[in-house]
Structure 1
Amino acid sequence: MLKYVEAAASWLFASAKGRDAKAFTKGPAFTSHPAPTIPITSPDCGPDGAVLSPAYMHGAQQGKFPELEWEAVEGVRQWLLVSEDPDAPLPTPICHGIYLGIDKDKLSVTNDDFQQQDDNKSTKLKGGFYYGANRRGNVYIPPRPLLNHGIHRYFFDIIALSEPLDETLVASKPTREQVAKAIDGKVIAWGRWTGQCERKWE
């Protein structure tokens, strides 16, 4: 039954894609840096625009976070990582994950970095950084495009900040909007790696 509902929704919202203009990196904090300049690669998924395999999509024993590597930036004091889907049939992109307090010397992340600490009470992850609030309130929402809605892109944006964010904010599981406000005047560069996938009726 759910397949029929999803397929019908895909037909109704076939043109409701491409919310790039509402992406996180289109906010006021990026006025002086409108284009990505930091190269990002994914050793396990492939080049920018790579098709995500089922292991990186929503499903039982799946949902891995793509491994990412990026280059150092002069003057960076802290990194921020944001993942979102601009092709969801909603007015704004869906925030799949937002990660704060990434150490300035850390130039890569792996799936293990996004595992919660043993007590599951803190928002601090095993990678040494913290997670903010996404649509479901968890660490990461793996890609699950609407059935038959075509290809969805998933942005993974790494953002270089000129100064660390307030520690209280970082640990408070802030929203996308709160983080966007907090980084105003602190962005010195950013980069993007994009993965894509779709779900078809079988």
Structure 2
Amino acid sequence: MLPIVEVTLAWLFKNAKGRDAKAFQTGPAFADFAEPTVEITSTDCGPTNAHLGVEYTADGAGKAPALSWTPPPAIAAQVKEWLLVSEDPDAPLSTPIVHGLFGGIAATKTSVEAKDFEIEDKSKALLKGGFHYGKTWHSVPYVPPRPLMNHGPHRYFFTIIALKKPLDTALLNSKATTREQIADAIVGKVLGWGIWVGSCERVWK
């Protein structure tokens, strides 16, 4: 997209940001879990609200930030699987844009790094980290941040969800699985969740 077009769109939609009320963790599955209880941080970017360097954006290498999380002792033994959702609530749309949807993360796996998001078996939507990916707005496992130029800082939510029951294998094996399908599938299965936020901005100079 030409910079002048991006800047024009950013100006037209300057107030179309902050769709936090429609973030994944506000869905019906989280009715009994209003606040995060799982501690999550990025081992290469720092604690939540960290700045995402260019290597973590579409203008650079597009690396996914390495994440590490710790379940509270009260639920640790009950976790059967983890779910990780990445989205941009500041995109100028009515709902957050999905940047990543990752299910079937083993209960014993409490960290991910960039290489985990590389494709292992496309036919099963399986990644090298041993978990599966769903549908993103660019139909790739992970879409690196690329906010509109001059639209101001965009936040990128990385939400980790503890599940007490595994997701259906057929759902996990399909790369066409949507955010909405996953949201429906986890109703009654959530034990807790945590969120890490990274932010970046693109400016036309």
* TM-score normalised per structure 2: 0.95
Aligned residues: 200
SS in 1 for 2:103: strand
Moved over 6 A (4+): none
| 1:4 aligned partner, one-letter code | I
User: Using the alignment, how far apart are the partners of 1:29 and 1:41 within structure 2?
Assistant: 23
User: Using the alignment, how far apart are the partners of 1:167 and 1:121 within structure 2?
Assistant: 13
Provide structure 1 residue ranges, at least 5 long, that are not aligned to the other structure: none
Q: Is the 8 A contact 2:124 2:174 kept in 1?
A: no
**Corresponding position: 1:85 with 2:88:** yes
| 1:115 aligned partner, one-letter code | E
Q: Is the 8 A contact 2:27 2:183 kept in 1?
A: yes
Correspondences of 1:85-164 after superposition (within 5 Å): 85-117=88-120, 120-164=122-166
| 1:10 aligned partner, one-letter code | A
Correspondences of 1:1-202 after superposition (within 5 Å): 2-59=2-59, 62-72=61-71, 73-74=75-76, 75-117=78-120, 120-173=122-175, 174-202=177-205
Provide structure 2 residue ranges, at least 5 long, that are not aligned to the other structure: none
| 2:59 aligned partner, one-letter code | G
Any idea what the Cα deviations from partners look like across 1:129-169, whole Å, max 9, x if unmatched?
Answer: 00000111111100001100000000000000011011111
* TM-score normalised per structure 1: 0.96
User: Using the alignment, how far apart are the partners of 1:115 and 1:94 within structure 2?
Assistant: 21
The Cα RMSD (Å) is 1.1
**Identity, % of aligned positions:** 56
